[in-house]
Amino acid sequence: MCMLLRRPLLLLFVQVAVLAAGAPAQEARSRPNILLILSDDQGTVDLGACGTQDLQTPHLDRLAERGVRFTQFYAAAPVCSPSRAAFLSGRIPQRAGLSGNVDPNNPDAGLPPSTVTIAEHFRAHGYATAQIGKWHLGHSRERQPTGQGFDFGFGHLGGCIDNYSHFFYWNGPNRHDLVRNGVEEYHAGEFFPELCVDEAAAWIRARDEQPWLMYFAINLPHYPYQGHARWLDVYEGLPRARREYAAFLSTMDETLGRLFAVLREQGIDDETIIVFQSDHGHSTEQRAFYGGGDAGPHRGAKFSLLEGGIRVPAIVAGPGVPEGELRGQMATACDWFPTLCTLAGIPQPTHALDGRDLQAVLADAAAPTPHEHFFWKNGGQWALRLGKWKLIWNAQDTTDGRAWKREPGMRLYDLSLDPGETTDLAAEHPKRVDRLRKLAQEWDPTIRYELEEKKE
């Protein structure tokens, strides 16, 4: 590991980026590796670097110190499958072709094979690609990782598993769910996150000069909360739900620490861009003890388009990225795809993305966000953010796990003054509401809120 080399390498990569547009694959070695880490149901502020006081996440905090952390970063959906579809495709879920969670018993459900993933794009530009961990983007062969641009896939296809048996249990059938390149494989009794690091390490060690992109989707801290017993001891004083969640989150951090150590061991940590993001806010489901996570000042959690459901921890570090900086600009999971093309020096895809290149934001804390506005739609809710304003329709408030509730109709919030979305300003700003509604309809012309409102 040679921290001093980082900035010269950055320059090298930027030069390569300029020179390499359309360059043949054999020149690819000078490109950085890409490690995309997606955590699962992690709360907005549940990271030491994000300000949590009662959780220990030293490895991710160190990652934040090595790169840029975002303070207003958004998942593209408040539930798993559509969030992942956007993360991998650079498009909002509706345009990626997967707007809800994948039904495990429907073999035809999932991310359409025609959707172009970041793996397909990077592979076309000379990258080796691997998926490790959770998928939840489809079960049929062509919808599995190896059908969606990954040379290698290892992990579970469903929405959650038991980490020791690797069984899917959310509903029936309760079945084993661990596959390698589409073939079932048994590791009964072995802790899944550790298995994932072992697989990642083996795959990384087997790489040669070819750059690689790995999507490491760790299924933590998603229920079941299966943190190591020693972490339960550490958090003994916390309330039950928080304690279980905290132990699992620290177990996750520890596991990612092992993965980062593999990069150091291989001498490639300063040649690897690491992205870290949660797929959406923490869960307040009964299965999650009605919620052990923390959205800070925000309302909402998983399943909600209120801030707590979609505003997530996000970090990027590595070559081309400043060290130890914060960025307050609005940014989204759709942005990784175009941003990483720039950072890696490969051409942007020719089809339209909803994501925007964050390169200017990374370079300059004063740069404007590339998103004047952004749009979300999920589970009967939709929302649009424009600057400090957020218009939200039919919000589902999932803050209290024992009493989820709909907030029917249209509300307008000023996030700069009211991060908790408590004071509806729609009546005071009818023209602004109208403008935001029209922008929303440009994203999704099927929105006809006036009609829906009359039905209430």
Q: Of the two residues 96 and 288, which places its CB atom closer to its own copies in the complex?
A: 288
Binders of its own copies among 87-146, rule CB under 8 A?
Answer: none
- Contact region with its own copies (CB under 8 A), list: 2-10, 174-182, 213-221, 372-380: 174-182
Q: Of the two residues 151 and 162, which places its CB atom closer to its own copies in the complex?
A: 162
In angstroms, give the least distance from the CB of 241 to its own copies. 8
In angstroms, give the least distance from the CB of 194 to its own copies. 10
- Contact region with its own copies (CB under 8 A), list: 127-135, 224-232, 339-347, 433-441: 224-232
In angstroms, give the least distance from the CB of 201 to its own copies. 20
Report the residue from 15, 29, 58, 186 that binds its own copies according to the rule CB under 8 A. Answer: 186
Report the residue from 7, 15, 19, 171 that binds its own copies according to the rule CB under 8 A. Answer: 171
- Contact region with its own copies (CB under 8 A), list: 139-147, 173-181, 305-313, 384-392: 173-181
449: left (phi over 0), alpha (psi -120 to 50) or beta: alpha
Binders of its own copies among 45-84, rule CB under 8 A?
Answer: none
Nearest Cα to Cα of residue 246 among 48, 65, 37, 38: 48
For strand 212-217 and strand 33-39, is the pairing parallel, antiparallel, or unpaired?
A: parallel
Q: Of the two residues 245 and 393, which places its CB atom closer to its own copies in the complex?
A: 245
> With binding defined as CB under 8 A, does residue 237 bind its own copies?
no
> With binding defined as CB under 8 A, does residue 189 bind its own copies?
yes
> With binding defined as CB under 8 A, does residue 432 bind its own copies?
no
- Give the Å distances, CA to CA, from 12 to 2, 31, 122, 206, 264: 15, 9, 19, 25, 20
Q: Of the two residues 167 and 216, which places its CB atom closer to its own copies in the complex?
A: 167
Q: Of the two residues 230 and 388, which places its CB atom closer to its own copies in the complex?
A: 230
Q: Of the two residues 244 and 357, which places its CB atom closer to its own copies in the complex?
A: 244
> With binding defined as CB under 8 A, does residue 165 bind its own copies?
yes
Please write down the HEC assignment for all residues of the chain. Answer: CCHHHHHHHHHHHHHHHHHHCCCCHHHHHHCCEEEEEEECCCCCCCCHHHCCCCCCCHHHHHHHHHEEEECCEECCCCCHHHHHHHHHHCCCHHHHCCCCCCCCCCCCCECCCCCCCHHHHHHHCCCEEEEEEECCCECCHHHCHHHCCCCEEEEECCCCCCCCCCEECCCCCCEECCEECCEECCCCCCCHHHHHHHHHHHHHHCCCCCCEEEEEECCCCCCCCCCCHHHHHHCCCCCHHHHHHHHHHHHHHHHHHHHHHHHHHCCCHHHEEEEEEECCCCCCCHHHCCCCCCCCCCCCCCCCCCHHHHECCEEEECCCCCCCEEECCCEEHHHHHHHHHHHHCCCCCCCCCCCCCCHHHHHCCCCCCCCCEEEEEECCEEEEEECCEEEEEEEEECCCCCCCEEEEEEEEEECCCCCCCCCCCCCCCHHHHHHHHHHHHHHCCCCCHHHHHHHC
> With binding defined as CB under 8 A, does residue 15 bind its own copies?
no
In angstroms, give the least distance from the CB of 247 to its own copies. 11
Contact 387, 369 (CB under 8 A): no
> With binding defined as CB under 8 A, does residue 404 bind its own copies?
no
Tell me how many residues contact its own copies (CB under 8 A): 31
Report the residue from 97, 100, 112, 224 that binds its own copies according to the rule CB under 8 A. Answer: 224
Binders of its own copies among 197-216, rule CB under 8 A?
Answer: none
> With binding defined as CB under 8 A, does residue 174 bind its own copies?
yes
For strand 325-327 and strand 314-317, is the pairing parallel, antiparallel, or unpaired?
A: unpaired
In angstroms, give the least distance from the CB of 268 to its own copies. 31
Report the residue from 57, 146, 163, 304 that binds its own copies according to the rule CB under 8 A. Answer: 163
Report the residue from 30, 39, 89, 226 that binds its own copies according to the rule CB under 8 A. Answer: 226
Report the residue from 162, 323, 444, 452 that binds its own copies according to the rule CB under 8 A. Answer: 162
Binders of its own copies among 240-299, rule CB under 8 A?
Answer: 241, 244, 285-290
Q: Of the two residues 162 and 323, which places its CB atom closer to its own copies in the complex?
A: 162
Binding site for its own copies (CB under 8 A): 162-165, 167, 169, 171-176, 186, 188-191, 223-226, 228-229, 241, 244, 285-290
